[in-house]
Structure 1
Amino acid sequence: MGYTTHVSGEFAIEPPLAYTEFKDSKFAPDNMTSSWSPSLALRVDEQMVEKEDGVFLRRTATALVMREIDEYRERGLVDEVQSAIDSFPGHTFTGRLECEGEENADIWRVVVRDGSATRIEPRIVWPDDERE
């Protein structure tokens, strides 16, 4: 048993990734063989597209999301987000991951600023401290 972190949220990807851009990625759901690594996955949307020679399935990745992992032990989440960003140059990742540990006040976020994943910790101010 170890310290667990609950993670929610997502990073939208603009423009969405074409199938040829993500099909060989470790973040593609079809390529995941472990139940815990990587901890992030691409959200893949599918759409049937009618062409003159038939109907085709178009797959695009529109977001990077946290996988459902029981008792997630956060180790290197910021680095993993950065790895995903670096894997897809020319695309913008917007949004955030909200992280909450087991202990009170253990809250933080992962955001992307200028193409870099960053851990942001809140500044907690007690109401009495604001008057000083």
Structure 2
Amino acid sequence: MGYRTDVTGEFAIEPPLAWSEIKNGPFTTPMALGKAVRLYMASDHNYDLALRVNEESVETTEGTLVRRTAAALVMREIDDYRERNLVEQVQEIIDAFPGHTFTGRLDCEGEENTDLWRVVVREGRALRVEPRIVWPDDEDGGRS
């Protein structure tokens, strides 16, 4: 039994990643066809994150084309998640896809009530941000 962290949220990817950018990359692995929205993650790496891949059927003169794009970076569903280098993993994925913008955040909450933090992206860098607590009656920080 170890220390558990709950993670919610996601990063939107603009423009969405094209299938050609992700189909053979380290962040994806082929999955069975048949679902409209699916998650892809690397099988040979131990990533806690996944790309949410959308599928869209497009009618063409040659038949139906299935277009896949990854529009979001999300947490995989992991029971009893034990945070390990989450910020570094987000940065690795950002670095792997230059020309794309990642916006949003991952909200992280540990088992201790004071263990709150976020992963955000600012100017292409993944950062861990911790909250500042200010007492309402002491907004100047105790400076008199």
TM-score tier, shorter chain, comes to over 0.9
Per-residue CA shift, 1:72-125, capped at 9, x if unaligned?
A: 111100000000001111100000000000001110000000000000000011
**Greater shift in the superposed pair: 120-129 or 101-110:** 120-129
Q: Which runs of 5+ in 2 are unaligned?
A: 31-40
What RMSD, in angstroms, separates the aligned Cα atoms of the two structures?
A: 1.7
Which one-letter code corresponds to 2:106 in the other structure? L
Aligned residue runs from structure 1 range 21-36, under 5 A:
21-28=21-28, 30=30, 32-33=42-43
Aligned residue runs from structure 1 range 102-117, under 5 A:
102-117=111-126
Which residue in the other structure is 1:5 paired with? 5
Structure 1 moving runs of 4+ over 4 Å:
none
Q: Do 1:12 and 1:94's aligned partners in 2 also have CA atoms closer than 8 Å?
A: yes
Instruction: Please give the alpha-carbon distance, in whole angstroms, between the structure 2 residues aligned to 1:93 and 1:10.
Output: 9
Which residue in the other structure is 1:61 paired with? 70
Instruction: Please give the alpha-carbon distance, in whole angstroms, between the structure 1 residues aligned to 2:46 and 2:74.
Output: 13
Shift of 1:29: 5.4
Q: Do 1:108 and 1:121's aligned partners in 2 also have CA atoms closer than 8 Å?
A: yes
Which one-letter code corresponds to 1:33 in the other structure? S
Instruction: Please give the alpha-carbon distance, in whole angstroms, between the structure 2 residues aligned to 1:55 and 1:68.
Output: 32
Which structure has the highest helix share of the two? Answer: 1
Which one-letter code corresponds to 1:23 in the other structure? K
What is the aligned residue count?
131
Which residue in the other structure is 2:35 paired with? none
Instruction: Please give the alpha-carbon distance, in whole angstroms, between the structure 2 residues aligned to 1:14 and 1:33.
Output: 25
The answer to whether residue 139 in structure 2 is matched with residue 121 in structure 1 is: no
Which residue in the other structure is 2:56 paired with? 47
Q: Which runs of 5+ in 1 are unaligned?
A: none
Shift of 1:13: 0.3
Instruction: Please give the alpha-carbon distance, in whole angstroms, between the structure 2 residues aligned to 1:29 and 1:68.
Output: 16
Q: How high is the TM-score relative to the length of structure 1?
A: 0.92
Aligned residue runs from structure 1 range 75-114, under 5 A:
75-114=84-123
